[in-house]
A and B are shown apart, each in its own frame.
Chain A
Amino acid sequence: MIQLDHITWKTGDRVILADVTIAIPANTYAVLMGSTGCGKTTLLEILCGLRSPTSGRVLLDNVDVTDLEPRERGIGYVPQDLALFPGLRVREQIGFAPKLRGVPPEELNQRVNRLAEQFGIAPLLDRLPDMLSGGEKQRVALARALAAQPKLLLLDEPLSALDESMRAEAVTLLQRVQSEHSLTVLHVTHSSSEAAALGHLHLRMNGGRMEVE
Chain B
Amino acid sequence: MTLNRSNLCWLALGLITAGYLLFWAFLLGATATYSTPDSWLKVLMSPEIRHATWLSLVTCSLAAGFALLLAVPVGYLMSRREFRGKSWLDAALDIPIILPPLVVGLCLLIFFQTRIGKVIEMAVPFTYQLSGVVLAQFVVAAAFAIRTMRGTFQHLSARPEDVALTLGCTRFQALWHVALPAARRGMVAAFCIAWARSLGEFGPILVFAGATRMKTEVLPTTVWLELSVGNLEAAVAVSLFMVALAVLVLVAVRATGEKV
The interface of chain A, by Cβ under 8 A from chain B, is 45, 48-50, 69-71, 73, 75-79, 81, 83-88, 96-97, 100-101, 144-145, 148
Question: Secondary structure of the B side of the interface?
Answer: helix
Q: Is the CB of B160 within 8 A of A84?
A: yes
A148 with B167: in contact, given A81-B157, A83-B160, A88-B181 (CB under 8 Å)?
Answer: yes
Q: Is the CB of A101 within 8 A of B168?
A: yes
Could you say which of A49, A86, A100 contacts B181, with CB atoms under 8 Å apart? A86
For B169, the chain A residues whose CB sits under 8 A away are 71, 100
For B184, the chain A residues whose CB sits under 8 A away are 87
Q: Is the CB of A83 within 8 A of B162?
A: yes
Q: Is the CB of B167 within 8 A of A69?
A: no
Q: Is the CB of B167 within 8 A of A73?
A: no
Answer whether residue B252 sits at the interface, using C-beta atoms and an 8 A cutoff. no
A selection of 22 A-B contacts at a CB cut-off of 8 Å is A50-B166, A69-B165, A71-B165, A76-B166, A77-B162, A79-B162, A79-B163, A81-B159, A84-B160, A85-B160, A85-B181, A86-B160, A86-B181, A87-B182, A87-B184, A88-B181, A96-B177, A97-B167, A100-B167, A148-B166, A148-B167, A148-B168
A75 with B166: in contact, given A86-B160, A87-B181 (CB under 8 Å)?
Answer: yes
For A145, the chain B residues whose CB sits under 8 A away are 163, 166-167
- Inter-chain residue pair count (beta carbon < 8 A): 72
Q: Is the CB of B173 within 8 A of A100?
A: yes
For B157, the chain A residues whose CB sits under 8 A away are 81, 83
Q: Is the CB of A77 within 8 A of B166?
A: yes
Contacting residues of chain B (161-209) with chain A, CB-CB under 8 angstroms: 162-170, 173, 177-178, 181-182, 184
For A77, the chain B residues whose CB sits under 8 A away are 162-163, 166
Q: Is the CB of B164 within 8 A of A85?
A: yes
Chain B contributes a number of interface residues (CB within 8 A of A) equal to 19
For B178, the chain A residues whose CB sits under 8 A away are 85
Contacting residues of chain B (115-174) with chain A, CB-CB under 8 angstroms: 156-157, 159-160, 162-170, 173
For B162, the chain A residues whose CB sits under 8 A away are 45, 48, 50, 70, 77, 79, 83
A86 with B182: in contact, given A71-B166, A71-B169 (CB under 8 Å)?
Answer: yes
For A45, the chain B residues whose CB sits under 8 A away are 162
B158 to A, closest residue via Cβ: A83
Could you say which of B160, B165, B170, B181 contacts A50, with CB atoms under 8 Å apart? B165
For A48, the chain B residues whose CB sits under 8 A away are 162, 165-166
**Whole-angstrom CA separation of A79 from B168 in the bound complex:** 16
**Whole-angstrom CA separation of A70 from B165 in the bound complex:** 6
For B165, the chain A residues whose CB sits under 8 A away are 48-50, 69-71
B154 CB to closest chain A CB, in angstroms? Answer: 15
A10 CB to closest chain B CB, in angstroms? Answer: 15
- Which has the most chain A C-beta neighbours within 10 Å: B162, B167, B170? B167
**Whole-angstrom CA separation of A86 from B164 in the bound complex:** 12
**Whole-angstrom CA separation of A111 from B160 in the bound complex:** 22
Given contacts A81-B157, A100-B168, A145-B163, 5 further A-B contacts (CB under 8 A): A70-B166, A71-B165, A79-B163, A81-B159, A85-B182
Could you say which of B159, B167, B182 contacts A79, with CB atoms under 8 Å apart? B159
B6 CB to closest chain A CB, in angstroms? Answer: 37
For A96, the chain B residues whose CB sits under 8 A away are 164, 167, 177
Q: Is the CB of A83 within 8 A of B163?
A: yes
By Cβ-Cβ distance, the 9 closest A-B pairs, closest first, are A83-B159, A97-B167, A70-B165, A86-B182, A77-B166, A83-B160, A100-B168, A87-B181, A70-B166
For B170, the chain A residues whose CB sits under 8 A away are 69, 71
B162 CB to closest chain A CB, in angstroms? Answer: 5
A50 to B, closest residue via Cβ: B162
A111 CB to closest chain B CB, in angstroms? Answer: 13
**Whole-angstrom CA separation of A145 from B162 in the bound complex:** 12
Could you say which of B167, B173, B177 contacts A144, with CB atoms under 8 Å apart? B167
B167 to A, closest residue via Cβ: A97
- Which has the most chain B C-beta neighbours within 10 Å: A84, A85, A87, A96? A85
**Whole-angstrom CA separation of A97 from B174 in the bound complex:** 12
